[in-house]
Structure 1
Amino acid sequence: MLIARVAMIAGALCLASCSRNSEPGSEQRKAFSIGWSIYAGWMPWPYAQQAGIVKKWADKYGISINVVQVNDYVESINQYTAGKFDGVTVTNMDALTIPAAGGKDSSAIIIGDYSNGNDGILLKGAKDLAAIKGRKVYLAELSVSHYLLARGLEKADLKPTDVRTVNTSDADIVGAFSSPDATAAVAWNPQLSVMKGQAGVHEAFDSSRIPGEILDLLVVDSATLKANPALGKALAGIWYETVALMQRQDAQGKEARAAMARLAGATPAAFDSQLSTTFLYADPKAAVAASSAPALVKTMTLVRDFSFAHGLFKGAASADAVGIAFPGGKTLGDPARVTLRFDESFMKLAADGKL
């Protein structure tokens, strides 16, 4: 992906506070901020601000919204968790393991896309993932890259103990993999594309083999959203207008994508290539269906079980310690400790033309 989607958690997370808590910001307000970091599926947000789409929808609901770039992905989530932002762009796994596991009640109001090849496992001198056995694997530990590795090993009938991971930041992974001693790595675009271009490198597994499991979301503080539903409506309006524009094949659509590429520091061709491995939920009806499908519960079960097994629910006795709520009243985990909610209501308003 175009970002360092890393779930490295600084300090112990207090699961004792995982019940729905009273957050500052539960009052009615007029000004809001949303944090974002660079990734193909999230570039509609800064473009919408640049193009005046953010202001258009914010004005409609009598509020103001500032869309703020954070250069480091994990820092954007940490700042959201600390209350600096009202919402943030984040993966499903990181939404669970950072704010939710830390007790911050968050609502995923937009399912934007899933990685459909934007994340991959690379090997030098081999094409078969089985050749990874015994190698050191460079990746951002405890991130979606680590999750992808675990799923790849599972499908190759290998165990996590068959490899040794080397924690490597997104900023350093391209350089680290260029060393002759580094023969295996997991990365996301654009780093993935750069690393694939090195001599003798092959992609042995990618996220298209696990469609729908690495989801990219917009989450908003639940207390803020409850007190200020206009924020959710404006954000949904911004998202679907912008995504509809970028899907167009006319001059305006092409220019929108080119502007997003510039904002991402990529060429239009490179950005379009990254979009080709990003399954965008451009149709709000499709996003509503995805949020309500049994597959989402299955995906989140896989993600939370991985997270618990790797110690990301600090102090938890089981994977049920962090509750996850889905549309229709389904809850995964402890219903008294729900801190991650998939809220389809604003996507549904968009689908029904009621924004």
Structure 2
Amino acid sequence: MKRIAALILALSLSPLTQAADSFKVCWSIYVGWMPWAYGAEQGIVKKWGDKYGIDIEVVQINDYIESINQYSAGEFDACTMTNMDALTIPAAGGVDSTALVVGDFSNGNDGIVLKGKSSVADLKGQNVNLVELSVSHYLLARALESEGMSEKDLTVVNTSDADMVAVYGTDDVTAVSTWNPLLSEIESMPNSTKVFDSSKIPGEIIDLLVINTETLKANPKLGKALVGAWYEIMGNMSSEGDMGVSAKTYMAEASGTDLAGYEAQLASTEMFYTPADALSLTNSEKLVSTMENVSKFSFKHGLLGDGAPDAGYIGIEMPAGTFGDASNVKFRFDPTYMQMAADGKL
């Protein structure tokens, strides 16, 4: 109900169309989004904001879906989220949104864990706890497809990511679909087996920084500052020696693990440390096919809105083409600012 209420509120809000000098960005704990915590604490975000004469506040939200709801309701100008959630929450709610930073894709960081069982087939008849209608739900559907099963073979139990570890620790919960660092913690519990993960569907779960399109149009300096800060952070994080260790150690501790644990999560993440790497995916035809698949899943689950007649109801604009209704584009992958970073023009 909280999610639906936020979407109704989002529909009633006017787009943020005027230039401003103060902005808010929110993020939640995930291996690919911890760099924002580091960038804020180290003053990198502030440095880039100062360069363009703006103030950027970076805020952590403990509940992932709630962070997207708050962004959709206009409380934040930008927010970290996946490609599917960007489509099904803000875009489906009428909030025109742009993927400003394509940060990585999950290559094992999202997974399904069973207690006392060892295969996807063992999901049959079970309750599966997950953040309903999120990428964890998408992952579950893809896993079931791999075994010729469907969601009719089990029961989905909606569970906040903030509660996932505690819930799995109870006797009644025997199956979860979730993401790191929660996934690693749950998988390490006794009698637990990861039976499927996102490495089986590489490039389909993409982690982004999404920004309100109208806000970006009115404030290109915000796009420049955020992208500039991101790639400075990426440079620190990927550097050899003390700087890289220090950056990743901070990110590890801020996400509740240690350096070894964080590096294990990075090993199952295809991080785009350079803008060229990010542009390779953003500009690809594969992105178009991926978003078509995501749109079809979303339509099947009623995530594109009650009035959506088909999977192409919401237009998704990408460099290699537009999927869906070009007259109803609400989600965009804009390579402009990442290209500026690649060209050294920020």
- TM-score bin (small chain): over 0.9
- Cα deviation for residue 8 of structure 1 reads 7.4
- 2:34 match: 43
Distance 2:289 2:332 in 1: 15
1:77 alignment partner, SS class = helix
Label 1:22 to 1:314 Cα distance change in 2 as closer, same or farther (>3 A). Answer: closer
1:58 alignment partner, SS class = helix
- Cα deviation for residue 268 of structure 1 reads 2.0
List per-residue Cα deviations over 1:104-142 (Å, max 9, x = no partner): 011101100111111111123332212222222222211
- 1:317 match: 309
- Cα deviation for residue 23 of structure 1 reads 4.1
Label 1:22 to 1:332 Cα distance change in 2 as closer, same or farther (>3 A). Answer: farther
CA contact (8 A) 2:13 2:74 kept: no
Label 1:305 to 1:13 Cα distance change in 2 as closer, same or farther (>3 A). Answer: farther
1:40 alignment partner, SS class = coil
Is 1:218 equivalent to 2:186 in the alignment? no
- 2:235 match: 244
Label 1:13 to 1:46 Cα distance change in 2 as closer, same or farther (>3 A). Answer: closer
CA contact (8 A) 1:12 1:314 kept: no
- Cα deviation for residue 344 of structure 1 reads 0.6
Label 1:12 to 1:49 Cα distance change in 2 as closer, same or farther (>3 A). Answer: closer
1:341 alignment partner, SS class = strand
CA contact (8 A) 2:17 2:215 kept: yes
Is 1:54 equivalent to 2:45 in the alignment? yes
Matched to 2:114, the amino acid is L
Distance 2:36 2:293 in 1: 29
Distance 1:12 1:176 in 2: 25
List per-residue Cα deviations over 1:279-335 (Å, max 9, x = no partner): 11111111111011111111111111111111112221212221111114x211111
Distance 2:254 2:289 in 1: 35
- 1:166 match: 157
CA contact (8 A) 1:127 1:202 kept: yes
Structure 2 unaligned regions, length at least 5: none
- 2:4 match: 10
Distance 2:273 2:214 in 1: 27
CA contact (8 A) 1:8 1:141 kept: no
- 1:3 match: none
Distance 2:255 2:104 in 1: 17
1:286 to 264, 274, 277: 277
Paired positions, count? 343
Distance 1:134 1:236 in 2: 46
**Normalised TM-score (structure 1):** 0.91
1:39 alignment partner, SS class = coil
RMSD of aligned Cα (Å): 1.9
- 1:115 match: 106
Is 1:129 equivalent to 2:120 in the alignment? yes
